[in-house]
Amino acid sequence: MSTVVLLACTGLGLGALYFLVASGLSLIFGLMDVLNFAHGALLSVGAYAAWWAATDGGTGFWLAVVFGTVVGTAASVLLELALIRPLYVRPRDQILATVGVGLALPALLMGVWGSDARPFPQPAALSGTVGLLGATVPVNRFVLMAAALAVLVALRLFLARTRYGLIVRAGVEDRAMVTALGIDVRRAFTLVFAIGGAAASLGGALAGLYFGSVNPSQGTGLLIFAFVVVVMGGMGSVTGAAVASVGVGLVQQFANYYTAAGLGDLSVVVLLAVLLLVKPRGLTGRLA
Amino acid sequence: MSLLTVRDLRVVIDGLHILHGVELDVAATGVTALLGRNGAGKTTTVRAVMGLVPRTGTVTFDGADITGLPTHQVVRRGIGYAPEDRGVFAQLSVAENLRLAERDPDPAYDLVFELFPELKQRHRQAAGTLSGGQQQMVAIARTLLNGNRLVIADEPTKGLAPKIVTEVADVLARAAESVPVLLVEQNLALVRRIAGRCAVLADGRTAHQGDARALLADEDAARRLLGVGSHQPETTAPEGSSR
Amino acid sequence: MTAHLKRWWPLALLLVLIAAPYSALPLPGLLDGPLGSPGSLQLIALCLLYGGLATGYDLLLGRTGLLSFGHALYFATGLYATDLAMLELDLDLLPAALFGTACSVALALALGAVSLRVTGIGFSMVTLAFAQAGAILVQRNPGGYTGGEEGRSAPAPHLPDALVGIQNTANLYWIALAYLVLTLAVVHWTTASPTGRVWAGIRENERRVEVLGLRPYGFKLLAFTVSGALAGAGGVVYLLLTGGATPQAASSDATLALLVMVVLGGSGTRWGPLLGGVLYTWAAHRLGDLANSAAVADLPAALRVPLSQPLFLLGTLFVAVVYLLPGGLAKLPARLRTGRTPTAAAPAAALPEGAA
């Protein structure tokens, strides 16, 4: 029983991390048809910025998380303004540009801080464990879940209550028609990149807590699973991404534990292919 | 003096030449009809005017060249656009669809709800669950919400029941009292009823411009340009017949 | 005269390449040792191999318009299947190579048949998913066959003597050159065939091909399979050149590298992918050497750090090419000749998808 509880909590923590990456990815793709291959790199930027602030910067943990999120958001906005925006009329080149950034950014991090994993300072309050139904669960799992839940609630409020949220929801359905109502949809593009970058880099800062260390390829490694979540949850659907994140995180943990190592990862990746084949419309409806 | 002038409008999409030199003058008052058989390039013409497809040529609106402007700036010049497929956001409620279209500080909800009382009742309903006629009402309402200087309606009566067609025609006629309308339409009876001038497209070019009723009264010209009688037996006419 | 030159330069270049091992020409800056030295030949052979791989990959990307993120899978299949056929099935090199390539063809046919049921970015993601599954499998070392992180070395006893040892590098070099020529020939021949014209049609506008009464699916599957076969054969050459199979060959980075090569050189052109593959491979190696050199170590951090990371430089270069040089290096001469032709002024926010 205690193993199941621990696996469930770890799976949910991992799912929370996936959600932080996938929610932005999903909004960006839903609105702009841009599959952002640099999204994992944004997570790494957030992770390293937080790590740097917490070690060299000497700030406390929470301030470091804020710093990491701010840096990641700025990087994401810069990416949209400098590279994605000038390529709007060349959709494929937008994807290629994010591929290039996705290669270059982790390499830059590696150049500055080396390829080895760096231990992430764990604040005393979050490094302990809690007893839950007979299992000892690390506190950081719950930190991630709480962060993901907060982001989910904030995103839902933003989408439901604000004018830009309305524009994003409409743009996911029919971007051209949004412009035909006199709305400069490009501002919404920058905004979803900012949101996506913020969520991913927050995820990066908290991933340091979850994994106990940061390394340059962490984000890129998570990206593929975030793709699974996005496709499973439906493009542009934040709630769908949340449900899918939980599912993928749990399946992966349990399958990895109870079957041969790696089968969980494998099953999730194969699931991506199966999903796309079974409901291609979920992804390519507008791309055809 | 025309409000919207289109000169030598050309559109190439995926290597296909859709328009090769459309000329169009939209009068500063009343309804100007854009006619032509299926595939003549009517929808592409208005999409090109709106900047929704890449185009070359000159589009002048109220004396200013708007050819190079992105779509949202074309609209902000005061052009309301109700597209062929209605462009209603299915997942959004009626109220949200309307709110999205607000540009003026004081949107004309009074006018809209007077013309379409149904939309007020169905305020919170998802637009995707509306009937085709109701969706068309949302599309037209969005153009009337703001103080536009031109309304472009692309086949607003397509696929609607005869009774609704009459209703939509009434609204358009009434709207045209205060704002000029460019109407793409296959329903010639409706055109005869509300349109003043007209332009006819054939194979991506302008084949004729002139008075709408005069054209429709001239059976030979109408048959030659529009293929009336042979090509459009399915046209639903609200009153009488178009033959 | 210049027309003659234009026509015959590929052949002249080929002759020069064939003769290269006999030359002791020093090319300082370009190569560490003289042209014919084993170290130089090894590097040039890798460059030629990747030139060929990129050319084969462009059959999908540039010729048919299919953006596959899983090409490394078919390369790695050829690589591992050949290696394992020698190690586990006790086959000699030639049958093992045939077996490995056949495995790539079969896998490309099977997965292509499935992947091509979706179009657009969905296709890209399905191919990515399959390739990632392959990469995970190789990493996890199922049954001890793939050797996990370490990979598996090619068994020397099964290799012909002429292909073993540093003194025989020239033979490996010629094999790589032969592979490149084969790839170029296959790509040239298929794209010039009626099938190739259908591919070009699919790239331009798939719907129009359908209107002509042709089913794009079969043609796309053919492109996918031919491209997969070429990648598998490239895997065999890679096995010989590097003497083993390592999991990096299957990683998604390997596919991305091919993508970078093709776009860098010029997608959809005859020589562009080759040029990109050669340049990329050469640059990656030389930049790696540069990164470890004393000259870089003494630079201030702001220069040293980016210069010490080949992937950073290549990623940045890639973005620059995508952004500033659509069409890649192959289009550069034409662009320079015509001066700075303004790229067609596109309607800024007009998003022409779904235009009808």
With beta carbons under 8 A apart, name residues in chain B contacting A184: 70, 72
Pairing, β B79-82 against β C244-245? unpaired
Q: Does C342 touch chain B (CB under 8 A)?
A: no
Domain membership flag for residue B105: no
Evaluate if residue C210 carries a pLDDT over 90: no
A170·B92 Cβ contact <8 A: yes
With beta carbons under 8 A apart, name residues in chain C contacting A44: none
pLDDT for B228: 63
B51·C349 Cβ contact <8 A: yes
Whole-number average pLDDT of chain B: 85
Other beta carbons within 10 angstroms of residue B223's beta carbon come to: 13
Longest dimension (CA), chain B: 50
Give the domain range for residue C243: 36-250
Q: How far apart are CA A251 and CA A253, in angstroms?
A: 6
How would you list the strands of the sheet with B56-61, edge to edge?
A: B16-27, B2-13, B56-61, B64-65
If you average pLDDT over residues C252-266, what whole number do you get?
88
Evaluate if residue B114 carries a pLDDT over 70: yes
Give the domain range for residue B188: 2-87+149-172+179-226
DSSP C309-324: -HHHHHHHHHHHHHHH
Per the document, the length of chain B is 243
With beta carbons under 8 A apart, name residues in chain A contacting C351: 88-89, 175-176, 179
Q: What is the 3-state secondary structure (H, E, C) of chain A?
A: CHHHHHHHHHHHHHHHHHHHHHHHHHHHHHHHCCCCCCHHHHHHHHHHHHHHHHHCCCCCHHHHHHHHHHHHHHHHHHHHHHHHHHHCCCHHHHHHHHHHHHHHHHHHHHHHHCCCCEECCCCHHHHCEEEECCEEEEHHHHHHHHHHHHHHHHHHHHHHHCHHHHHHHHHHHCHHHHHCCCCCHHHHHHHHHHHHHHHHHHHHHHHHHHHCEECCCHHHHHHHHHHHHHHHHCCCCHHHHHHHHHHHHHHHHHHHHHCCCCHHHHHHHHHHHHHHHHCCHHHHCCCC
H-helix or E-strand spanning residue B9: strand B2-13
Q: Does B68 touch chain C (CB under 8 A)?
A: yes
Longest dimension (CA), chain A: 59
Per the document, the length of chain C is 356
CATH of the domain at A184: 1.10.3470
A108·C124 Cβ contact <8 A: no
With beta carbons under 8 A apart, name residues in chain B contacting A174: 87, 89
CA distance C163 to chain A (A): 35
Residue B17's SS3 state is strand
Kindly report, residue by residue over C271-307, the tens digit of the pLDDT.
999 999 999 898 888 777 777 777 777 777 777 777 7
Give the confidence band of A152 by pLDDT, cuts at 50, 70, 90: very high
A35·C125 Cβ contact <8 A: yes
CB C66 within 8 A of CB C224: yes
* Highest averaged pLDDT of the listed ranges A84-93, B109-118, C298-307: B109-118
**Chains touching C, CB cut-off 8 Å, 3+ pairs:** A, B
Q: How far apart are CA C195 and CA C219, in angstroms?
A: 7
A260·C133 Cβ contact <8 A: no
Token output for C146 = 């793939």
CATH of the domain at B63: 3.40.50.300
CB C231 within 8 A of CB C74: yes
Phi first, then psi: what are they for A15, rounded to 5°? -60, -40
Domain membership flag for residue B236: no
Q: Minimal Cα distance from A168: which residue of B?
A: B100
pLDDT for B15: 74
Q: How far apart are CA C291 and CA C310, in angstroms?
A: 8
CB B3 within 8 A of CB B27: yes
**With 0-12 CB in 10 A as exposed, 13-18 as middle and 19+ as buried, what is C225?**
buried
Q: Does B52 touch chain C (CB under 8 A)?
A: yes
If you average pLDDT over residues B169-177, what whole number do you get?
88
A177·B83 Cβ contact <8 A: yes
A280·C351 Cβ contact <8 A: no
CA distance C201 to chain B (A): 11
Evaluate if residue B164 carries a pLDDT over 80: yes
Token output for A206 = 């908290």
Q: Does B39 touch chain C (CB under 8 A)?
A: no
Which residues are bridge partners to B12 per DSSP?
Answer: B17
Kindly report, residue by residue over B39-76, the tens digit of the pLDDT.
888 999 999 999 999 899 999 999 899 998 999 999 99
Residues 137-156 in B contacting A (C-alpha not used; CB under 8 Å): 142, 146
* Highest averaged pLDDT of the listed ranges A23-32, A221-230, C185-194, C347-356: C185-194
Kindly state the percentage of chain A with pLDDT values over 70. Answer: 95
Token output for A76 = 């994401």
Give the confidence band of A211 by pLDDT, cuts at 50, 70, 90: confident
Number of domains in chain A: 1
Domain membership flag for residue C299: no
Residue C231's SS3 state is helix
Whole-number average pLDDT of chain C: 83
pLDDT for C327: 81
Residue type, A202: L
CB within 8 A of B71, min separation 6: which ones?
A176, A179, A180, B50, B51, B52, C347, C349, C350
Whole-number average pLDDT of chain A: 85
CA distance A176 to chain B (A): 7
If you average pLDDT over residues C60-83, what whole number do you get?
92
A284·C119 Cβ contact <8 A: yes
Evaluate if residue A27 carries a pLDDT over 70: yes
Evaluate if residue B237 carries a pLDDT over 70: no
Residue type, C295: A
DSSP state of C129: H
Number of CB pairs, chain B paired with chain C, less than 8 A apart: 41
C356·B43 Cβ contact <8 A: yes
**Chains touching A, CB cut-off 8 Å, 3+ pairs:** B, C
Token output for A92 = 């494929």
B72·A174 Cβ contact <8 A: no
Q: Does B99 touch chain A (CB under 8 A)?
A: yes
Domain membership flag for residue B221: yes
Evaluate if residue C309 carries a pLDDT over 50: yes
- Whole-Å CA distances, C302 to A49, A208, C295: 17, 26, 14
Domain membership flag for residue B115: no
CA-atom Rg of chain A in angstroms: 18
Substitution target from C57, C126, C140, C208 for chain A, most A beta carbons within 10 A = C126
Q: Minimal Cα distance from C348: which residue of B?
A: B70
Q: Minimal Cα distance from C313: which residue of A?
A: A104
Out of A86, A185, A283, closest to residue C121 by CB: A283
CB within 8 A of C15, min separation 6: which ones?
none
Q: How far apart are CA C240 and CA C173, in angstroms?
A: 10
Domain membership flag for residue C260: no
CB A53 within 8 A of CB A59: yes
pLDDT for C71: 94
DSSP C133-200: HHHHHHHH-GGGSS-TTT-EE--GGGS-GGGSSGGGHHHHHHHHHHHHHHHHHHHHHHHHSHHHHHHH
Domain membership flag for residue C87: yes
Out of C121, C256, C322, closest to residue A287 by CB: C121
Residues 93-112 in A contacting C (C-alpha not used; CB under 8 Å): 93, 95-97, 99-108, 110-112
Number of domains in chain C: 1
CA distance C119 to chain B (A): 17
Q: Minimal Cα distance from A98: which residue of C?
A: C319
Other beta carbons within 10 angstroms of residue A143's beta carbon come to: 20
Kindly state the percentage of chain C with pLDDT values over 70. Answer: 92
CB B147 within 8 A of CB B171: no
Pairing, β A118-119 against β A213-214? antiparallel
Domain membership flag for residue B58: yes
Q: Minimal Cα distance from C320: which residue of A?
A: A97
Q: Does B77 touch chain A (CB under 8 A)?
A: no
Phi first, then psi: what are they for C52, rounded to 5°? -65, -45
Q: Does B45 touch chain C (CB under 8 A)?
A: no
Q: How far apart are CA A66 and CA A70, in angstroms?
A: 6
A182·B101 Cβ contact <8 A: yes
DSSP state of B93: B
pLDDT for C351: 38
**With 0-12 CB in 10 A as exposed, 13-18 as middle and 19+ as buried, what is A147?**
buried
Give the confidence band of A284 by pLDDT, cuts at 50, 70, 90: very low
Give the lowest-confidence range in A271-280, C140-149, C229-238.
Answer: A271-280
Number of domains in chain B: 1
With beta carbons under 8 A apart, name residues in chain B contacting C208: 14, 16
Domain membership flag for residue B138: no
Phi first, then psi: what are they for A90, rounded to 5°? -125, 75
Domain membership flag for residue C189: yes
Q: How far apart are CA B119 and CA B134, in angstroms?
A: 8
Evaluate if residue C50 carries a pLDDT over 60: yes
Q: How far apart are CA C246 and CA C165, in angstroms?
A: 20
Q: Minimal Cα distance from C355: which residue of A?
A: A176
H-helix or E-strand spanning residue B21: strand B16-27
